[in-house]
Structure 1
Amino acid sequence: MKKYHLALLGALCLQLTGCISYSHQQQADASAWPIPLNSAKPTVSLKVDTDYQFNGTPSQRGFNLPSLERLLIKEYQSSQAFEQVALGLNTADVYAKVKVSNHETGSMLLAIISGATLLVIPGTFDNEWIMETRFFDANGKEQGRVVKREITTTWTQLLLVFALPFNESTDEILAKLARSTLEEASQRKLL
């Protein structure tokens, strides 16, 4: 019976592990949202590409592309700057090629130590989120490029389970980058 209680206590401790992510707030929020336009609303065709690297080494994991595409379509629609927003339209007034990169850095040694101690010793890693958007006109001529960046830091530790409700969502960061991109593109007359 004592072994059962110890096993149950161990399982509960493992369930109490948590992590917290926070943004370095490098990117300001869009000041004018939705975007005010003086001209007619154009149609836009999106093409989304991703890049994930861990400590400088490219990897295939990291992004759920359909979810990312839905998030970007939602942000482009909520800007109220476009008549129609879709993926891969054959004819559109504006073509936007969006490349979202996540360059993650962290110490593998610290991750191993943290895991071996069942997260008593905390682990940490940083993510640099980069959204590069190239805008093209209806004829395929590049009008300009907008690059936005944000860095988040994530800590994992046994007692951070209480911080989970305050965790910053990746979707919020990507939405912030998309809004800031559209605001700058509007100011630079790329739309």
Structure 2
Amino acid sequence: MKALFAALLATALLSLTGCLSYSHKDLAQVEQWPLTAAEQPTQSAYLKVDSQYLFNDQTRAGGFNQANLEKLIVKQYQDSKRFSNVTTAKQNSDLYISVRVSNHERGSIASAVITGATLFVIPGKFSNELSMETTFKDGSGKVLGRIEKSETITTWMQLLLIFALPFNESVDPILDQLTQSSLEEAARQKLI
């Protein structure tokens, strides 16, 4: 009976583990969204979205849901009001834009093992640097310019942080901010 009670208690504790993620707010706020356009947009854009996940600077499998990532980025490009058409389907376009989103996760494996072995009583911490590198090319393939933006997110894992779960920050708004900031910088540099 004691073994059953211990197993149920361990299961309850493991299911009640919590984490708290917060952004460092390093990225400057976009001044105006959608971007101002003096005339009706006439440029079409082909977007190629790529992603990678690194753990302690080593490439690993996993990372972003590619379909969701493309959908988020395409929506921001359409909402910018700078393009007549934005697509991820290969076709002739006025601009060819390559977007690479990277998640550089950093943390200690030993700390994660200790956190897990103590059933999340001893906290663990990881940081994720989300970076977006955007390359703009004209219709003939000539590189017009590159823009890189990044934001850092810190995640704490601990048993009592279950109460912070409803306040956890999603990655989607940060990806939106990275895209908007990249487009704002591209407009400032007259790449779009």
TM-score, normalised to structure 1's length? 0.94
Residue in structure 1 matched with residue 112 of structure 2 by the alignment: 111
Give the CA deviation at 1:3: 4.8
Task: Please identify, of 78-87 and 102-111, the stretch whose mean Cα deviation from structure 2 is larger.
Answer: 78-87
In structure 2, distance between residues paired with 1:167 and 1:56 = 25
In structure 2, distance between residues paired with 1:93 and 1:86 = 12
Partner SS, residue 33 of structure 2: coil
Residue in structure 1 matched with residue 25 of structure 2 by the alignment: 25
Task: Please identify, of 93-102 and 32-41, the stretch whose mean Cα deviation from structure 2 is larger.
Answer: 32-41
Alignment of structure 1 residues 63-102 onto 2, 5 Å: 63-102=64-103
Q: Percent identity?
A: 50
In structure 2, distance between residues paired with 1:15 and 1:60 = 25
Give the CA deviation at 1:102: 0.9
In structure 2, distance between residues paired with 1:29 and 1:148 = 12
Q: Provide Cα deviations, 1:35-59, integer angstroms capped at 9, x if missing partner.
A: 1112441111100111211011111
Residue in structure 1 matched with residue 139 of structure 2 by the alignment: 138
In structure 2, distance between residues paired with 1:24 and 1:176 = 13
Gaps of 5+ in 1: none
Residue in structure 1 matched with residue 157 of structure 2 by the alignment: 156
Give the CA deviation at 1:9: 3.0
Q: Which amino acid aligns with 1:140?
A: G
Give the CA deviation at 1:162: 0.8
Change (3 A) 1:103 1:178: same
Residue in structure 1 matched with residue 49 of structure 2 by the alignment: 48
Q: Provide Cα deviations, 1:50-74, integer angstroms capped at 9, x if missing partner.
A: 1211011111221211111111111
Paired residue total: 191
Task: Please identify, of 60-69 and 7-16, the stretch whose mean Cα deviation from structure 2 is larger.
Answer: 7-16
Give the CA deviation at 1:4: 4.2
Change (3 A) 1:144 1:81: same
Q: Provide Cα deviations, 1:148-170, integer angstroms capped at 9, x if missing partner.
A: 01111111100111111111111
Task: Please identify, of 4-13 and 84-93, the stretch whose mean Cα deviation from structure 2 is larger.
Answer: 4-13
In structure 2, distance between residues paired with 1:87 and 1:13 = 44
Q: Provide Cα deviations, 1:125-172, integer angstroms capped at 9, x if missing partner.
A: 111111000011122111111100111111110011111111111111
TM-score, normalised to structure 2's length? 0.94
Q: Provide Cα deviations, 1:64-123, integer angstroms capped at 9, x if missing partner.
A: 111111111111112122111110332111111001111111001100000000000011
RMSD (Å) for aligned C-alpha atoms: 1.4
Task: Please identify, of 8-17 and 118-127, the stretch whose mean Cα deviation from structure 2 is larger.
Answer: 8-17
Residue in structure 2 matched with residue 172 of structure 1 by the alignment: 173
Residue in structure 2 matched with residue 58 of structure 1 by the alignment: 59
Q: Which amino acid aligns with 1:10?
A: A
Gaps of 5+ in 2: none
In structure 1, distance between residues paired with 2:29 and 2:121 = 36
Partner SS, residue 109 of structure 1: helix
